[in-house]
Amino acid sequence: MSAERIVIVGAGPAGLSTARAYRACGGEAEVTLVGEEPLLPYRRPPLTKELVRGELGAHELAIETEDWFAANDVKLLRGARVTSIAPEEGVVTLESYVRLPAETIVLAAGSRPARPPIAGAEHPDVHTIRTLADSERVIAALDSGQRAVVVGTGFIGCELAASLALRGVAVTLIGQERLPQLARLGELAARRIAAWLAELGVELRGESSLAAVHEGRIVELDDKSRHDACAVILATGVHPRGELAQASGIQTSDAGAVIVDAAMRARSAHGNVLAVGDVACAFNACAGRHLRVEHWGDALGHGEVAGRTLAHGDGCWEEVPGFWSTIGAHTLKYAAWGDGFEDARTVSAPDGSFTVWYERDGATVGVLTHERDEDYERGRELIAAGEPAP
Ligand SMILES: Cc1cc2nc3c(=O)[nH]c(=O)nc-3n(C[C@H](O)[C@H](O)[C@H](O)COP(=O)(O)OP(=O)(O)OC[C@H]3O[C@@H](n4cnc5c(N)ncnc54)[C@H](O)[C@@H]3O)c2cc1C
């Protein structure tokens, strides 16, 4: 790929990893990483975990130091938002109207929190968590003993509810499913997560839907019950930030993610455009289909593939996607293609550790483990090989 000047839009893990891998592969083009946040690229996973629990400070989150950027000749523009890309002209335009020449554009814009379409969800006092600033606002809004309502029982909602409870905050967690992540993970895992939350004193209200938020702090549910809180936090999913691609005619999925091949190349009529991380819907060569994942490790992995594609033209994404989540003191590891299963079989031990094997058409399509790393690693191999679960 011709790549005299590479501009990477988005300074999260996927963007940074692209720059890092490109240099590691010997790429010598000029590289500019543009990020709208004012910070060095930083780790998001602690924003609902160690940071909230007070175990890590904001200054400990950076992925690389300033020195790394200088030593690797990667120009980092912080607090700079890209407003448009024109691959056919080879230009990336910033909000400040600065135009950056770019023979190659890498879209690494991540995703933004989704707010449900109900009255009051857009109120400025209703929180979401994506950035360090978001997390700090939530922490500042809640003293010990005060009440928070967290809406959404996905991993972000469960982690945040547990971490806030450990800070002494009284937490009500609202979810549409009977148990957290029942459809995604199956009955046993969902029960375990519910039990871990209960141990921490989190009040779980399943089978409940948000009807409205009043004045930014009173949650009304579909059963008309009202729940007052000092902070309401929506953890109701994310949308990929594919709008720059859409506006420049690059193919996106129905969900708005940029469709890329296994080398992370987008389908663009003109110019070299790649997409990585949460914003990408990438072809996984091992799965044989496009997948969209929202995982830290896969954002880094996409970047490694893109860096290789840019330097040598032969990057290929074939890893089984996977992530971890920590709910209070309990860590779950999950690897899966992520597009459904037919059977879930659980192996649990008296010490509380467990593994859930997920199968479809006789092949392993996912594995979830708690304190059973050897099963997790074995599971990844079985998923990649398309073999049955043990
Ligand atoms: C609170 C939280 C906890 C998480 N915990 C886990 C976990 O435990 N395990 C796990 O595997 N995953 C976890 N994730 C998911 C993981 O963090 C994401 O999948 C990962 O950050 C995606 O990386 P990315 O680089 O694609 O996007 P992002 O990390 O979102 O980075 C994209 C960056 O691009 C910037 N940007 C966007 N548009 C523009 C523009 N137009 N101009 C300039 N800059 C722009 C954004 O501001 C952002 O800084 C968590 C996510 C969150 C929010």
Going residue by residue through the chain, which has 390 residues, state the pLDDT in tens, using 9 for 90 and above.
555 899 999 999 999 999 999 999 999 999 999 999 999 999 999 999 999 999 999 999 999 999 999 999 999 999 999 999 999 999 999 999 999 999 999 999 999 999 999 999 999 999 999 999 999 999 999 988 899 999 999 999 999 999 999 999 999 999 999 999 999 999 999 999 999 999 999 999 999 999 999 999 999 999 999 999 999 999 999 999 999 999 999 999 999 999 999 999 998 767 799 999 999 999 999 999 999 999 999 999 999 999 999 999 999 999 999 999 999 999 999 999 998 899 999 999 999 999 999 999 999 999 999 999 999 999 999 999 999 999
The residue assigned the tokens 């690897």 is 335
| Ligand 1 neighbourhood includes 299 CB (under 6 angstroms) | yes
Rounded to the nearest whole angstrom, what is the distance from the C-alpha of residue 111 to the centroid of ligand 1? Answer: 6
Matching CATH number, 115-234, of 1.10.760.10, 3.50.50.60, 3.40.640.10, 3.20.20.70? 3.50.50.60
pLDDT of 29: 97
Residue intervals in the chain for CATH 3.50.50.60: 5-112+239-312, 115-234
C-alpha dihedral over 329, 294, 278, 343, to 10 degrees?
A: 170
pLDDT of 143: 87
* Fold exhibited by the domain 5-112+239-312: FAD/NAD(P)-binding domain (3.50.50)
Please list, residue by residue across 165-198, b when 16 or more beta carbons sit within 10 angstroms of its beta carbon and e when fewer do. bbbebbbbbbbbeebbbbebbbebbbebbbebbe
Rounded to the nearest whole angstrom, what is the distance from the C-alpha of residue 294 to the centroid of ligand 1? Answer: 8
SS3 277: helix
CA atoms within 13 A on the CB side of 146: 13
Cα(238)–Cα(292) distance, integer angstroms: 12
pLDDT of 236: 97
pLDDT of 270: 74
| Ligand 1 neighbourhood includes 297 CB (under 6 angstroms) | yes
ipTM: 0.99
Q: Which residues contact 128 (CB under 8 A, 6 or more apart)?
A: 113, 115, 134, 233, 234, 235
Cα(94)–Cα(215) distance, integer angstroms: 35
| Ligand 1 neighbourhood includes 13 CB (under 6 angstroms) | yes
Cα(88)–Cα(268) distance, integer angstroms: 9
Rounded to the nearest whole angstrom, what is the distance from the C-alpha of residue 26 to the centroid of ligand 1? Answer: 26
C-alpha dihedral over 62, 67, 69, 70, to 10 degrees?
A: 170
